[in-house]
């Protein structure tokens, strides 16, 4: 009879599993310490009421020893938890480093392929920029041609225009000069004339007109 093949051993627990298990044990010990504190409070009160109660005193001493033992165990397990956290952090940091390097390597390969595209040719890009500059210059010249005036100001003397421009720059043209340069018929005052259908004895605002002759003499009151 052929011997049976041995089953492979189970895989060791991961750091996360070991840390979770150890953390659970630490929590259980903390609960025991809380219960010991409650019992200590009860027996301490009994011992205070009756110092001759040897049972209460012995119980307090036993609970204190248990508490010291549990606290020592917690300190050891917390140290182990700290060490495992440090190792787990280092492992995760290495995994993140490997993932970062792999991502950068893949991106580098993609960029190398993209630089092989004809659109990434430096000479072609420079020629395209030169062509674009020439097109923009020609477009500007066309716009200037289309914006030229047709016969506006051809009969004006350029020297007179320059003199007028100098006067504007020096502040020499004031409001009176602007009025003088306007046609005379625009500056002449306009007589509105008498209002239509104006009743006799009223002024232009419809109020009694002031008398134009000398004011009549007022009678002097007697007694003066």
- pLDDT of 166: 78
Residue 202 has pLDDT above 70, yes or no: no
Rounded-to-integer distance, Cα 120 and Cα 126, Å: 11
pLDDT in tens, 51-92: 888 888 888 899 999 999 999 999 999 999 999 889 989 989
DSSP state of 107: H
Residue 222 has pLDDT above 80, yes or no: no
Residue 29 has pLDDT above 70, yes or no: yes
- pLDDT of 185: 47
**Torsion-angle region of 223 (φ positive above 0: left; ψ -120 to 50: alpha; else: beta):** left
pTM over 0.75: no
Instruction: Estimate to the nearest angstrom the gap between the alpha carbon of 107 and the chain centroid.
Output: 31
CA distances from 185 to 94, 173, 178, 180 (A): 96, 21, 14, 11
- pLDDT of 120: 86
Rounded-to-integer distance, Cα 82 and Cα 75, Å: 11
Q: What integer is the mean pLDDT of 41-50?
A: 88
Q: Which domains does the chain have, with CATH numbers?
A: 15-110 (1.10.287)
């Amino acid at each position: 009879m052929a011997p049976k093949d041995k089953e492979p051993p189970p895989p060791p627990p991961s750091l996360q599993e070991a840390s979770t298990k150890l953390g659970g044990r630490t929590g259980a010990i903390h609960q025991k310490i809380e219960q010991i504190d409650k019992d200590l409070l009860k027996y301490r009160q009994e011992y205070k009421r009756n110092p001759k109660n040897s049972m209460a005193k012995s119980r307090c001493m036993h609970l204190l020893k248990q508490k010291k033992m549990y606290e020592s165990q917690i300190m050891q397990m917390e140290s182990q938890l700290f060490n495992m956290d440090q190792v787990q952090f280092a492992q995760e940091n290495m995994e993140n480093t490997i993932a970062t390097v792999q991502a950068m390597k893949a991106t580098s390969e993609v960029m190398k392929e993209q630089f092989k595209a004809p659109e990434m040719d430096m000479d072609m890009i420079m020629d395209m920029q030169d062509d674009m500059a020439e097109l923009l210059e020609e477009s500007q010249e066309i716009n200037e041609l289309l914006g030229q005036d047709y016969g506006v100001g051809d009969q004006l003397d350029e020297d007179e225009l320059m003199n007028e421009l100098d006067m504007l720059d020096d502040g020499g043209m004031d409001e009176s000069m602007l009025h003088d340069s306007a046609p005379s018929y625009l500056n002449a005052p306009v007589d509105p004339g008498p209002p239509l259908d104006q009743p006799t004895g009223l002024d232009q605002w419809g109020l009694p007109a002031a008398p134009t002759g000398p004011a009549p003499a007022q009678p002097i009151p007697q007694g003066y």
